[in-house]
Amino acid sequence: MEKYIARRYAGFRSGLSLDTEALRRYPDAIDLSIGDTDIITDPRIIDAACADARRGYTRYGDPKGDPELIDAICEAWQQDFQQEISPDEVLITTSSCMGMSQVMLGLVDPGDEVLVFGPYFSVYSQQIELAGGKCVEVVTREENGFMPREEDIRACITPRTRLMIINTPCNPTGAAYDASTLRMLARLCCEFDMLAASDEIYTRYLYDGPFIPLRTIDGMKERTITLNSFSKNFMMTGWRVGCIIAHPALIRVFQHVNNAMTYTAPAISQRAALHALKIRDDISLKYITLYRKRVYYASDRLAAMPFLSLCRPRGTFYLFPGIEKTSMDDRDFCSLLLEKAHILVSPGSVFGLAGCGHFRIAVTCPQEKLARAMDRMEKLATDLC
């Protein structure tokens, strides 16, 4: 059947996915591989959404998004970040992942280059390439806290550079960009007339300071396409609803792409998102504090393992340990971890060249199971040494 497959999918690389075969092979396996929350959506959100479904919110809605939800997003942004946005700057999408695909299709022409800061969420390169663009990885390093350096970015900019993708807090490293880093990125965008697609789906998973949206930095309101989602911030991964915030002229383009791909986000999911925004501070206090406790616990345990290195994450629910001391390939190490300790994690090389020699842990399991995983890793360390 190969002759029927489109050329753009020739040599297709598999990315992140749940290894169901491994879970079948090892019934006692502990899965720390996929960034899907183990916490069910808050019952208040579910109950309110079900009530809305009974009231008739089960049909197609406005292709741009539920007007009530758009107004609520504008109001929440003003309250949380003290910046005004208008409804014509917002488009509701079926997840931020779909939103990023629409941004690439709307802005990238064949041959255009898009900067990503590696290690990066693996889907970015596929989204860029499906739009005909070239993914250019700017390497960040563990010794620098996985923060991008201006000289490295400048070395990657060419006349074909169209935009950069920024993800903070970052999947997979947990790095979070401070104000000075964001100002540096803004300065480069202005100097080279670039736009920035800012993936901000972990805004509430910042553990040591307030989150700073890129579009609030001087000169960046019109240059920033903000992508957000209700998946991680509200434990709503299965509802598939997010949004794009951008200049109205760009929103019109993205809506045109959206109409051809999904037409509209699910009406019931949009109602759930509306109710989630009303209790967002309570959600953070109740649930995201729990993830912070897990991240800190796992960080302390991993930092004590002599065969690993670790840059402690400032956000998200991921950790990205280095395995240089083992002299092993990251895929081989992850296979060993599965075979000997029955722990499923993601190899760092999935996240770009900069991810090689690392692996990603998602602390998306109860604390007692996470503790068992750390115990098994320590035992493996003893066996390795």
Predicted confidence at residue 14, as pLDDT, reads: 60
Domain boundary among 250, 279, 308: 279
Instruction: Tell whether the model's pLDDT for residue 148 goes beyond 80.
Output: yes
For the record, the structure tokens of 363 come out as 């602390």
119 preceded by a cis bond (ω within 30 of 0): yes
Flag whether 46 is in a domain.
no
Residues 255 and 299 in one domain: no
Any idea what the CATH number is for the domain that residue 286 is in?
3.90.1150.10
Integer Cα distance of 324 and 322 in angstroms:
6
| Boundary residue ending a domain (252, 279, 306) | 279
pLDDT digits (tens, 9 = 90+) for 2-19: 788 888 777 666 655 556
One-letter identity of residue 107: L
Same domain, 135 and 231: yes
Q: Which residues pair with 225 in a beta bridge?
A: 197
Residues 232 and 319 in one domain: no
Burial of 373 (0-12, 13-18, 19+ CB in 10 A): buried
Q: Of 120, 115, 280, which is closest to residue 203 (Cα–Cα)?
A: 280
What CATH number is attached to the domain comprising 266? 3.40.640.10
Residues in a beta bridge with 229? 242
Q: How confident is the model at residue 384 (pLDDT cuts 50, 70, 90)?
A: low
Q: Are residues 171 and 260 part of one domain?
A: yes
Residue 100 has φ and ψ, to the nearest 5°, of -65, -40
Is residue 170 within 8 A of residue 176, CB to CB? The reply is yes
Does 342 reside within a domain?
Answer: yes
Instruction: Tell me what pLDDT residue 105 has.
Output: 98
Give the residue among 376, 385, 351 at the shortest CA–CA distance from 26: 376
| Residue pLDDT, tens place only, 221-258 | 999 999 999 999 999 999 999 999 999 999 999 999 99
> What is the average pLDDT value for the chain, to the nearest integer?
95
Of the candidates 256, 279, 302, which is a domain's last residue? 279
| 182-221 pLDDT tens trace | 999 999 999 999 999 999 999 999 998 899 999 999 999 9
Per the structure, the complete domain to which residue 313 belongs is given by: 2-41+282-380
296 vs 125, 134, 207, 317, 328, CA distance in Å?
A: 30, 37, 10, 10, 26
User: Any idea which residue has 């360390």 for tokens?
Assistant: 381
| pLDDT tens-digit series, residues 20-33 | 677 788 889 999 99
Helices 248-261 and 96-107 meet at what angle, rounded to 10? 110
Which residues have a Cβ under 8 Å from the Cβ of 218 and sit 6 or more positions away? 183, 186
Length of the chain measured in residues: 385
Residues 314 and 348 in one domain: yes
pLDDT in tens, 86-144: 999 999 999 999 999 999 999 999 999 999 999 999 999 999 999 999 999 999 999 99
pLDDT, residue 16, reads: 56
DSSP 3-state of 125: helix
pLDDT digits (tens, 9 = 90+) for 281-337: 999 889 989 999 999 999 999 999 999 999 999 999 999 999 999 999 999 999 999
Query: Each residue of 68-87: pLDDT tens digit?
Result: 999 999 999 999 999 999 99
Distances (CA, A) of 328 to 16, 301, 370: 21, 21, 24
